[in-house]
Amino acid sequence: MASSSIVARGALPPGFENRLYDPAEALPRDELSALQLRRLQETVERAARVPSYREALGRAGVSAADIRSLDDLRRLPFTVKDDLRRNYPLGLLAVPREQVVRIHGSSGTTGRPTFVAYTRRDLDTWTGLVARFLVAGGLRPEHTVHVAFGYGLFTGGFGLHYGIERVGAAVVPAGGGNTPRHVRLIQDLGAQVLICTPSYALHIGEVAAAEGLRPDDLALRFGHFGGEPWTEELRQEIERSLGILAFNNYGLSEVIGPGVAGECGVREGMHVQEDHFIVECLDPKTLEPVPEGEVGELVITSLTKEATPVLRYRTRDLAALDRRPCPCGRTGVRMGRVVGRSDDMLIIRGVNVFPSQVEEALLRVDGTAPQYLIEVSRPGALDEVKVKVELRPGDLRDEMRQMIELKDRIDREIHAVTGIRMSIELVAPGALERSPGKARRVIDHRKAAVA
């Protein structure tokens, strides 16, 4: 698999100079643990100023003084998205309102929006964390960076923006807007680095190709992508279509935004910035730790966030942790890519299926674009799944026989990956809706409200 990537992973890419932005990224583990413990005690103290945390800590019978080792983390109560909703808009604020200098929020696609706040020191911390993963992934002061994240309540745009400036690179805050305009700006301003969601990076590649541009016509060399789960196959697809190295990063607004974890040049997992966050990997049902290296739900405790600290925040993101040392010298535990969300998981005829599995299957089939939509319904007693798959431009000239073969091939791959038979519908290139934000991959007609 790695051979089709433009650079094999597991080693630093040729000409890639591994550089730390902050020596704290390579703290020896014992020093890191001591720092985490001290900061955890401070965080519990800070959280206890918030009425709803004070109550939860009281119910759990634990206070800052009871935190004597990192194992005591497990005595702390969990925080869930609903706690943020219940405390709408800023009931979880742990500092006086006049110390707040920024407010971000998450979209309200599955309910009320939620807000998080930042003090001046929080913004400084956040900017430094973003600068760390950008530098780990090759950003240098001489680069020009095209940011195609929206600028708004969403943390992606502003989070990356200030991190890029901190490194000293030139930022093009292109924001939303139409894709041909992005392609033109990237070309005219000679950006070497692209920042957006992975699905949007692929779309930029499609539009550039449709305009007759080859990867060599753009100065782009690498990209930092985040904001939604993606697969290794999609990484290779983006790398091929734009002629770049694609780096993965991770974060969520409830915790701070982008900057919780990011890939180094080795690109085998994202280093969690453990001097600022403790990450646990738990079985979402039992809430007990999963065996080492297995996929579980990430649960994150902030260690330095002042305005809206979080204790054991259940992210719903499913990923594995890798505690083996990394050749780059960073000591932060590495998290694997997010393979799904514990609440995105579809249960089809009793089998757990993640949209990312369908994507993985489609990317194994030449001739299809990785644009798809899964429609789930229950017309009778059984769940039925239809997958609409876009053809690549050019395939419409093909013979009917080839189309049937393609459908069969997709059917077989999806069945191999998920164990489920789904009905396949091929649709014209460009027929599925594109979005500059998170791509919509599932419509579940079984639910009254669409997730």
Q: Which residues bind Zn ion (CB under 5 A)?
A: 264, 266, 326, 328, 330
Sequential DSSP letters for 372-392: EEEEEE-SSSS-EEEEEEEEP
As a whole number of angstroms, the distance between CA 427 and CA 440 comes to: 16
Taking the least distance from each CB to Zn ion, the nearer of 164 and 264 is 264
Taking the least distance from each CB to Zn ion, the nearer of 305 and 330 is 330
As a whole number of angstroms, the distance between CA 314 and CA 336 comes to: 17
**CA dist 80 to 114, 253, 315, Å?**
12, 13, 8
Q: Residue 118: which of 256, 293, 260, 273 has the closest Cα?
A: 256
For CA atoms 286, 288, 293, 297, give the dihedral sign: positive
As a whole number of angstroms, the distance between CA 238 and CA 206 comes to: 10
Q: Give the long-range contacts of residues 41-49, CB within 8 A, separation 24 or more.
A: 41/67, 42/303, 43/301, 43/302, 43/303, 43/304, 43/305, 43/309, 43/311, 44/76, 44/311, 46/94, 46/306, 46/309, 47/94, 47/309, 47/311, 49/94
Q: Give 431's contacts (C-beta < 8 A, 6+ positions apart).
A: 388, 390
How do strand 321-322 and strand 257-263 relate by DSSP bridges?
A: unpaired
Taking the least distance from each CB to Zn ion, the nearer of 279 and 328 is 328
CB atoms within 10 A of CB 326: 18
Taking the least distance from each CB to Zn ion, the nearer of 133 and 154 is 133
As a whole number of angstroms, the distance between CA 172 and CA 143 comes to: 11
Q: Give 237's contacts (C-beta < 8 A, 6+ positions apart).
A: 202, 363, 370
Minimum distance between the CB of residue 18 and Zn ion, rounded to whole angstroms?
Answer: 8
Minimum distance between the CB of residue 280 and Zn ion, rounded to whole angstroms?
Answer: 21
Taking the least distance from each CB to Zn ion, the nearer of 202 and 328 is 328
**CA dist 116 to 98, 259, 273, 342, Å?**
15, 15, 20, 22
Minimum distance between the CB of residue 271 and Zn ion, rounded to whole angstroms?
Answer: 6
Minimum distance between the CB of residue 265 and Zn ion, rounded to whole angstroms?
Answer: 7
Q: What's 11's DSSP letter?
A: S
Minimum distance between the CB of residue 330 and Zn ion, rounded to whole angstroms?
Answer: 5
Taking the least distance from each CB to Zn ion, the nearer of 67 and 335 is 335
Minimum distance between the CB of residue 9 and Zn ion, rounded to whole angstroms?
Answer: 11
Task: State how far Cα 424 lies from the chain centre.
Answer: 28
Tell me the two tokens of residue 399: 């013979």
Taking the least distance from each CB to Zn ion, the nearer of 95 and 264 is 264
Taking the least distance from each CB to Zn ion, the nearer of 22 and 375 is 22
Taking the least distance from each CB to Zn ion, the nearer of 143 and 334 is 334
Report residue 276: phi and psi, to 5°.
-115, -15
Minimum distance between the CB of residue 130 and Zn ion, rounded to whole angstroms?
Answer: 17
Minimum distance between the CB of residue 107 and Zn ion, rounded to whole angstroms?
Answer: 32
Minimum distance between the CB of residue 293 and Zn ion, rounded to whole angstroms?
Answer: 17
Q: Residue 234: which of 283, 199, 274, 188 has the closest Cα?
A: 199
* Cβ-based burial of 397 (10 A; exposed 0-12, middle 13-18, buried ≥19): exposed
What is the three-class DSSP state of 144?
strand
Minimum distance between the CB of residue 30 and Zn ion, rounded to whole angstroms?
Answer: 19
Minimum distance between the CB of residue 324 and Zn ion, rounded to whole angstroms?
Answer: 10
Taking the least distance from each CB to Zn ion, the nearer of 194 and 266 is 266
Minimum distance between the CB of residue 279 and Zn ion, rounded to whole angstroms?
Answer: 16
Taking the least distance from each CB to Zn ion, the nearer of 186 and 335 is 335
Whether residue 221 contacts residue 15, with contact meaning beta carbons closer than 8 Å, is answered with: no
Taking the least distance from each CB to Zn ion, the nearer of 305 and 334 is 334
